[in-house]
Amino acid sequence: MWEILWGGRLADVNRIEQRFEALRREARKGLIIYIGAGDPDLETTVALARAFDAAGVDVIELGVPFSDPLADGPVNQLAAQRGLDSGTTPERVLSAVAQLRQDSQIPVVLYIYFNLVHRYGLARFLEHAAAAGVDGLLVLDLPPEEAGEYAALAARAGLCAIHLIAPTTPEDRIQRIVQEGRGFLYYVSREGVTGMQAQLSRSVAERVALIRRHTTLPVAVGFGISDAAQAAEVARGADAVVVGSAVVQRIADRLGRPDMVSHVVEFVKSLATAVKGV
């Protein structure tokens, strides 16, 4: 059904890889924005994604709502709950991506927990995600050591399997993780769950340099980046900056107001200006 409706896409063409290659050629840094899919509804999610594309965002991460989001702090947990309350399911998220693809080619990553993928059916989910226009998956709770079948099926579908590296990840394990990655690597800038922070970890640049000794994949840094100044600081040492909770909080602050999308987009524009100016 998905292939008939949306036509699928070629496995050797991936928007994430194309975007990072363009950024490299132009000597620019990337901006990745996370929002919870279905927060407060999927129509708003699609509207935000389109507006982010126009505002200079390079990749959008859509958090697929889950009842036990163990990697997330309070802000994103509440967004996941709002997504569940609005009736958002994995299948409806794929339908929203397909709708977005009617007029936008912004790269899309699904930020998802493996329970949802497993329940849907691993091979079936990856096939449907690719057909809908998804470009990559960040499966929060699937260690690379246990991701053999997932990684092979994702590659066959043309999807980037994106992996996390933590501040506590030892160097020998970094070497293994980077071999399994595709698209970009996501460095978690601090220990713990997602959430805004007043100060950034002082070890970010050092850890990014360590990762780069073992891979040519772009390194994106996220978790805790709260404003344009912090985004610019991180961009000086990373290939891309990921901002999530600070955006999600602005969605929460404007729930039910007609200016919500424009308010959030103005903040995202400030992030884009900061990152692109580095």
Per-residue pLDDT tens digits for 196-247: 454 555 678 899 999 999 999 999 999 889 999 999 999 999 999 999 999 9
Contact 34, 223 (CB under 8 A): no
Per-residue pLDDT tens digits for 2-60: 443 444 444 457 999 999 999 999 999 999 999 999 999 999 999 999 999 999 999 99
Per-residue pLDDT tens digits for 158-202: 999 999 999 999 999 999 999 999 999 999 985 444 444 545 556
User: How high does pLDDT run on average in the chain?
Assistant: 91
The pLDDT value recorded for residue 73 is: 86
Annotated domain spans of the chain: 2-276
The pLDDT value recorded for residue 200 is: 58
Indicate which residues carry an active-site annotation.
61, 72
Residue of 249, 166, 248 lying closest to 210 (CA atoms): 166
The pLDDT value recorded for residue 203 is: 78
Per-residue pLDDT tens digits for 59-82: 999 999 999 988 888 999 999 999
Q: In what order do the strands lie in the sheet with 185-188?
A: 160-162, 136-139, 108-112, 59-63, 30-36, 240-243, 219-222, 185-188, 164-165
CATH topology of domain 2-276: TIM Barrel (3.20.20)
pTM of the model: 0.93
